[in-house]
Amino acid sequence: MTIRGEIGSYSLSSPQDAQQVADYLWNTYLGGQSSTRPLGDAVLDGIDFDIEQGTDQFWSDLAKALAAHNSQKKVYLSAAPQCPFPGNGVANQLLPAVREGLFDYVWVQFYNNPQCQYGSGNADALLARWNEWTQLNTNQLFLGVPAAPGAAGSGYIPPDALISQVLPTIKSSPKYGGVMLWDRFFDQQNGYSNAIKGSIN
C-alpha cells in the first residue's frame, strides 16, 4: 500500500531552500532518521505536491532532491496541478516541474477553472486540455473531478456524462492512469466511485 504525505501552499526561496525542505521531509516522514518523527515508526512512501499558491520556482529542485533518495528507498512523487494549460499565476504552480517528468503520478484538477472543465453538458474544453497534458513528459496521468456538486466550486461531471462523453476519449491515451475524485467524504455521500468503477479501466 502506498501512503503519501501532502505538501500544500508553500514558497521555496532557492535551490538550497528546496534541498533543506527535502532533507526535512526525508528524515521526518520518509526513510530517513530523526528524533522528531511525528508518525513514530510509520514511514511514508512518497509526497504529493498540491501547490495552488506561492511561486512556481524551485519545485523541480525539491522533487529532484526527494527523488535523489531513490537509491535508498523508492520515493513516490505525485502532483495535483490545476488544469489551465499553460498555467498562469496561482492557477498552475507545478507545470514547470511536471514538464520535467519528475512525478510518478499527476492528478490534474479539471475543476474550478471554467476554461478547462466540463460545463453545460459539454466536455470539449476538458478534452482539449487533457490532450495538451498528455503531450508532457508525464508517467501516469489522472483525470481529477469533483465527487459531488458541492465538492468544488465548478466542474462537476455527472457519472453518466463522464462514462459516455469523457472516458472513451481519455482512455485511449497510453498515459491514462485513471480518475481522481475530490474528495472521499463527498464520494461516500454521492456514491460517485461506485457509479464509475466499472468503466474506468
- Among candidate residues 93, 81, 66, 90, the one with its CA nearest the CA of residue 4: 66
Give the whole-angstrom CA distance, residue 168 versus residue 200.
9
Q: Which residues lie across from 6 on neighbouring strands?
A: 48
C-beta of residue 117 within 8 angstroms of C-beta of residue 145: no
- Helices and strands counted in the chain (H then E): 8, 6
- Among candidate residues 185, 173, 73, the one with its CA nearest the CA of residue 132: 173
- Among candidate residues 114, 148, 146, 151, the one with its CA nearest the CA of residue 129: 114
Give the whole-angstrom CA distance, residue 158 versus residue 95.
28
Q: Which residues lie across from 5 on neighbouring strands?
A: 47
User: What is the DSSP code string of 42-65?
Assistant: ----EEEE---SS-SSSHHHHHHH
Write down the catalytic residue from 6, 52, 100, 132: 52
Annotation marks residue 132 as catalytic: no
Give the whole-angstrom CA distance, residue 30 versus residue 23.
10
Active-site positions read 52
